[in-house]
Amino acid sequence: QVQVVESGGGLVQAGGSLRLSCAASGSIDSIQTMRWYRQAPGKQRELVSTITRAGGTNYADSVKWRFTISRDNAKSTVYLQMNSLKPEDTAVYYCAAYGLNRDYWGQGTQVTVSS
């Protein structure tokens, strides 16, 4: 079993920055990939960014060059640094850890960007 807990959301003005954290616990050695998703009101959940066990990263086109995913293995934590935030980035952001043939989801953290 793996548990993930997100933190770091909040209210920020357009152009500002936030850093989200996703702390994993439990069978962390089984985690192959960590992903950040987001879901805006009335929209489907979308994949924002991925970081693999080997350190490979990937980003949605809508956040490329503005968001950066990284990890601290010693803390079993993955971060999402979000810069140049836009109102359309407003959403609940979820962290998911893939391992043991399934995804483990956090409860989400709200990010609100005001114009």
CA distances for 26 relative to 48, 64, 97, angstroms: 24, 31, 11
CB atoms within 10 A of CB 12: 17
100: left (phi over 0), alpha (psi -120 to 50) or beta: left
pLDDT per position as a tens digit, 6-28: 999 999 999 999 999 999 998 88
pLDDT per position as a tens digit, 28-62: 888 999 999 999 999 999 999 999 998 999 999 99
Count, in order, helices (H) and strands (E) of the chain: 0, 11
Q: Nearest 5 degrees, angle CA 97-CA 19-CA 39?
A: 55
